[in-house]
Homo-oligomer: A and B are copies of this chain.
Amino acid sequence: MSPSSPIVVIDSGLGGLTVVRAIQNVLPKEDIVYFGDTARLPYGSKTAATVCSFVEQIISYLQSKNPKHVVIACNTATALALQSVQHTFASLPITGVIEPGAKAAVIAAGSKMVPTIAVLATEATVRSKAYERAIHRRRHHARLLMRPAPLLVPIIEEGRTVNDPLVRVALQQYLEPLIRNRMNVLVLGCTHYPVYRELIQEMTGKVVPVIDSAQQCAEDVARRLKIAGMLHGQNGAGSLSSFVTDDPERFQLLAPRFLGMEIDRPTWVHPEELYAPVMPPSPVRLSQSA
C-alpha cells in the first residue's frame, strides 16, 4: 500500500454511503472503494458468527485493491466483526464507526455528573454491548439506554420520507421511552438513521444533541492517515467506485439519498465470488451432476 492506494469502505448495503459522504468532505482527494453486501443484508438481525464470516469474505475479496485503510461503515458489522477482522488481517489498518461515535457522545454529555446517553441501533448492535464497552471505557459513570429499532432500516430502504405517517409512528414508538427517561445525548447507532436526522432532532426537542457517527468516523480516518503519512497527494478530486452483491441498478437509484450525489453504476459481485479463491464457477450444478 502507498499514499495513492484507496480507502475501502464496507457496509451491508446503502447506509455506509453516509460515511463515504463524510470522508469525501474531510478528504476530497482520496480514492474510495465502496462495498455494499446487498444480497445478504440486513446484518442487524443476524448473529456474530454469520456477520463475521461475511465481513471476512469481503475484506479478503478486496485485498486485490491494495487498500491503505479499511472502514467498517456499519454499526452492526463494527460491533460483531471488527475485533475479529483486525486479528485476521493484522497488517491492514481497519477501523469502525462505534469508537468515534462513543467518543463524540461522551464529549457531548459534557460535565454532567451521571449523564444519560441513549443509543438507537439494530438488534444485533444492542445485543453485542459494543456501545456500552466503548462509552464506559471513557465515562465510567454514565447511564446508558440501549434501544433496538429493527424496522428503521427496512423503512429507510423502502424509500419512505419523513412526511409518511408510518415513519412518524415508528420513530415515536422507538424514541418515546428514551424521551421519557430523559436522555441527555442521543447516538444514531446505525449509518442508515441520519436520513431522518432532522425529524429525530425535532421529536427529541432540539435540546438533546444527536450524534451521527459518520462525521466522527471520517475525522478519525483523516487523523490516522495523516499520522501514517498516507494522505493522497493528487491535485484533483478522488474517485468513488462501488461493488454490490445484488442489483446494481437499485443501488445506483437509491444511493443519492445517502451520498447526496449520483454515482457510477456499481460492479455486481455475485456472493459465490466471495469464495472465489477455492471455488470452481458453478459448484451447485457440479455436485448435482455428480
A interface with B by C-beta (< 8 Å): 38-40, 45-47, 49-50, 53, 56-57, 60, 63, 88-89, 150-151, 154-155, 157-158, 165-166, 169-170, 173, 245-247, 270-272, 275, 277-280, 283-288, 290
Contacts and interface: CB of A to CB of B under 8 A. Distances in A.
Nearest to A159: B150
A53 B272 CA distance: 9
Given A50-B245, A50-B271, A270-B49, A287 B283 contact: no
Most buried by B among A39, A60, A63: A39
A270 B272 CA distance: 14
B60 A288 contact: yes
B279 A278 contact: yes
Nearest to A40: B40
A154 B246 CA distance: 19
18 contacts: A46-B247, A47-B246, A53-B272, A56-B285, A88-B288, A89-B288, A151-B151, A151-B154, A151-B155, A151-B166, A154-B154, A166-B169, A275-B275, A275-B283, A277-B287, A277-B290, A278-B280, A278-B283
A154 B165 contact: no
A164 B288 CA distance: 46
A247 B47 contact: yes
A246 B88 CA distance: 22
A247 B49 CA distance: 9
A154 B154 CA distance: 7
Contacts of A38: 46
Most buried by B among A38, A57, A287: A287
Contacts of A283: 275, 277-279
7 nearest CB pairs, A to B: A277-B287, A154-B154, A56-B284, A60-B284, A39-B50, A47-B247, A150-B158
Contacts of A287: 60, 277-278
A168 to B, nearest CB: 9
